[in-house]
């Protein structure tokens, strides 16, 4: 009986350790690091993340930050895949949590979609691609029609929330119930962060 308990606990402990490492990696906010290297923390004037960086430093910087965040999410999820593959579908939610609430930057980070997309790509490349395409398309429509005037959410969380239903269907079909729960947890993180951004005054507006 003791051996059975040990066999049950060991994978659980490894999974917890792997997910903790993923959180710590995702907590490195590239937006904050870059903006501070330019002499100011972007969070004093805008939200961290690709959208805010694009508004403050130009679209090239915004695109670079978005792709760097995708790579960061993939790296963090890769750690989970190596250490405990059975926990991989929980990695996207943990990566988004680290990005949105980074321990290294006062728990005030970005909005989670780009690193979560990278993590989903590691969990299942097709699901990651679907998330990327649906999220990018929704963000493009958001900017084209200037929807932020009406819903206040910036393009990234809006694109993420709209694309979650498609991501859920794809992940569930590809990997079963556990993948579906992983996407639900990811959606909860993005929704909470999105509501926080929606209800908070824009940085620098006071």
For 49, the token pair is 């993340």
Q: How far apart are CA 92 and CA 120, in angstroms?
A: 6
* Total domains present in the chain: 1
**What pLDDT shows up at residue 131?**
82
Q: Which two tokens stand for residue 84?
A: 């405990």
How far apart CA 6 and CA 13 sit, in angstroms, is 10
Whose tokens are 């639900």? That residue is: 184
Q: What are phi and psi of 77, to 5 degrees?
A: -70, -30
Tokens of 193: 């962060």
In a domain, 82, yes or no: yes
Give how far the C-alpha of residue 195 lies from the chain's centroid of Cα atoms, to the nearest Å. Answer: 15
Domain around 147: 19-199
Radius of gyration of the chain (CA): 17
**pLDDT digits over 63-110, tens only?**
999 999 999 999 999 999 999 999 999 999 999 999 999 999 999 999
Asked whether residue 2 is assigned to any structural domain, the reply reads no
Residue 128 resides in a domain: yes
Closest C-alpha to 63, from 127, 155, 197: 155
Q: Are 90 and 77 in contact (CB under 8 A)?
A: no
Report yes or no on 6 lying in a domain. Answer: no
Residue 57 resides in a domain: yes
Mean pLDDT over each residue of the chain, to the nearest integer: 87
Handedness of CA 45, 61, 25, 179 (dihedral sign): positive
Give the predicted TM-score (pTM) of the model: 0.85
> Residue 138: inside a domain, yes or no?
yes
What local confidence, expressed as pLDDT, does residue 125 receive? 96
- pLDDT per position as a tens digit, 149-187: 656 556 655 666 677 888 999 999 999 999 999 999 999
Structural tokens at position 60: 């090239």
Residue 77 domain-assigned (yes or no): yes
Tell me the helices (H) and strands (E) count for the chain, helix number first: 10, 0
Q: Which pLDDT value is given to residue 6?
A: 44
| Residue 152: inside a domain | yes
């Amino acid at each position: 009986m003791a051996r059975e308990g040990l066999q049950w606990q060991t994978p659980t402990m490894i999974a917890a350790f792997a997910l903790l490492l993923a959180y710590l990696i995702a907590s490195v906010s590239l937006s904050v690091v870059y903006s501070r290297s330019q002499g100011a923390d972007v969070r004093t004037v805008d939200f961290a993340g690709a959208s805010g960086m694009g508004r403050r430093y130009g679209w090239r910087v915004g695109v670079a930050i978005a792709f760097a965040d995708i790579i960061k999410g993939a790296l963090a999820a890769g750690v989970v895949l190596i250490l405990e593959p059975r926990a991989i579908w929980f990695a996207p939610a943990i990566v988004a949590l680290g990005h949105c609430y980074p321990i290294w930057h006062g728990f005030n980070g970005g909005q989670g979609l780009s690193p979560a997309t990278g993590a989903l790509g590691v969990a299942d490349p097709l699901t990651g691609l679907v998330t990327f395409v649906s999220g990018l398309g929704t963000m493009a429509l958001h900017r084209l029609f200037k929807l932020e005037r009406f819903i206040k959410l910036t393009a990234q969380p809006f694109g993420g929330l709209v694309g979650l239903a498609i991501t859920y269907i794809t992940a569930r079909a590809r990997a079963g119930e556990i993948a579906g729960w992983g996407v639900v947890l990811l959606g909860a993180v993005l929704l909470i962060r999105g509501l926080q951004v929606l209800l908070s005054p824009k940085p620098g507006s006071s």
